C-alpha cells in the first residue's frame, strides 16, 4: 500500500485470529493466526478453494461469528467487546451483505426488497423509499424495473438488486460472498462493473471467491489456504 494508506486507520484490522471448533470428533482448527488490514475505499478479494477457511473468515468479518482468539477491529471498534444487541446493530448498519444466492423475496417488488433492511431500524416509509431509490440508481437498475417482482428479473438484475439492498443503510463495508457464482461470465462482469463503480464512489468492498478471474478485478488479492493467509500485493 502507499504511504498515505499505511498511516490511515484501517477500516478492517484483523490481528492474530484463530478459530477452533469443538465437536464430539475433537477440535478442528480452521483459521491459524490470521492477520491483515483493509483500508477505507479499498476493493479486496479473498480467494481460496473449498475448505480453505474463507467462509469462516467471512462470518467473522461479518460479525456473524467470533474468533476463538485474536482481535478484530472494525472501524477501530473492538468487536469482541460488543454486546449481542450492539453486534446486531453493526450487522444492520455498518456491513452490507451480498450473497451468491441473492436472498431476495420473490413475491415482493424490487423497491420493497431494497427497503426491507430499513424496516428493522425504524426508518419512516417515505425515507425508506427515497433511500432505496438512491441505492437502485447507484447500481444502475432501470427505473421501470422498480415495481417488478424480483422473480421477473434476470440473474444479473437480481444481483444488482441485492447489491442495492446491501447499500441502502450506507454501510462502511460491502461484504460479498461469491457474488458472481450463479451468473454466466457476461452477467458476472456486469456485476463486477457495479462493484468498480461503487469503489470509485469510495465504498470499501471485500469480495470472497474461489475464482481467480473474479479476484483479479480487485485492487488487492489475499489468498487463504488451509486456514492461513498469504497476503497479496496491491496492483
pLDDT at position 1, please? 40
Q: What are the DSSP calls for 195-219, one per residue?
A: HHHHHHTT-EEEEEES-HHHHTTSS
pLDDT by 10-residue block (mean), the chain, 235 residues = 59 96 91 95 94 92 94 94 91 90 91 89 86 93 93 91 93 92 88 92 94 93 93 59
Tell me, yes or no, whether 198 lies in a domain.
yes
Beta strands in 24-155, from DSSP E residues, in sequence order: 26-38, 43-47, 69-74, 77-78, 95-99
Tell me, yes or no, whether 104 lies in a domain.
yes
Q: What average pLDDT is seen over the chain?
A: 90
CATH number of domain containing 130: 3.40.50.300
pLDDT at position 230, please? 84
Tell me, yes or no, whether 20 lies in a domain.
no
For the whole model, what pTM was predicted? 0.88
Domain span at residue 221 reads 40-68+83-234
Tell me, yes or no, whether 188 lies in a domain.
yes
Tell me, yes or no, whether 200 lies in a domain.
yes
Q: Which of 72, 92, 89 is nearest to 81 (CA)?
A: 72
Tell me, yes or no, whether 25 lies in a domain.
no
pLDDT at position 232, please? 65
How far is 233 from 132, CA to CA, in rounded Å? 36
pLDDT at position 59, please? 93
pLDDT at position 235, please? 53
Tell me, yes or no, whether 95 lies in a domain.
yes
- How many independent structural domains does the chain possess? 1
Tell me, yes or no, whether 22 lies in a domain.
no
Amino acid at each position: 500500500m502507499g504511504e498515505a494508506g499505511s498511516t490511515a486507520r484501517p477500516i478492517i484490522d484483523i490481528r492474530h485470529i484463530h478459530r477452533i471448533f469443538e465437536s464430539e470428533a475433537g477440535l478442528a482448527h480452521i483459521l491459524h493466526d490470521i492477520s491483515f488490514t483493509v483500508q477505507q475505499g479499498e476493493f479486496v478479494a479473498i480467494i481460496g478453494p473449498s475448505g480453505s477457511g474463507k467462509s469462516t473468515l467471512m462470518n467473522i468479518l461479518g460479525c456473524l461469528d467470533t474468533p476463538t482468539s485474536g482481535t478484530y477491529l472494525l472501524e477501530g471498534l473492538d468487536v469482541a467487546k460488543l454486546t449481542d444487541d450492539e453486534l446486531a446493530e453493526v450487522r444492520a448498519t455498518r456491513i452490507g451483505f451480498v450473497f451468491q444466492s441473492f436472498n431476495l423475496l420473490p413475491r415482493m417488488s424490487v423497491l420493497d426488497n431494497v427497503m426491507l433492511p430499513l424496516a428493522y431500524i425504524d426508518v419512516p416509509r417515505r425515507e425508506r423509499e427515497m433511500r432505496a431509490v438512491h441505492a437502485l440508481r447507484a447500481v444502475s437498475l432501470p427505473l421501470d424495473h422498480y415495481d417488478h417482482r424480483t422473480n421477473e428479473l434476470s440473474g444479473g438484475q437480481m444481483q444488482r438488486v441485492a447489491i442495492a439492498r446491501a447499500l441502502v443503510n450506507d454501510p462502511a463495508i460491502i461484504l460479498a460472498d461469491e457474488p458472481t457464482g450463479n451468473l454466466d461470465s457476461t452477467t458476472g462482469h456486469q456485476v463486477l462493473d457495479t462493484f468498480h463503480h461503487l469503489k470509485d464512489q469510495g465504498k470499501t468492498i471485500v469480495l470472497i471467491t474461489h475464482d481467480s478471474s473474479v479476484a483479479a478485478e480487485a485492487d488487492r488479492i489475499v489468498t487463504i489456504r488451509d486456514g492461513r493467509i498469504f497476503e497479496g500485493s496491491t496492483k
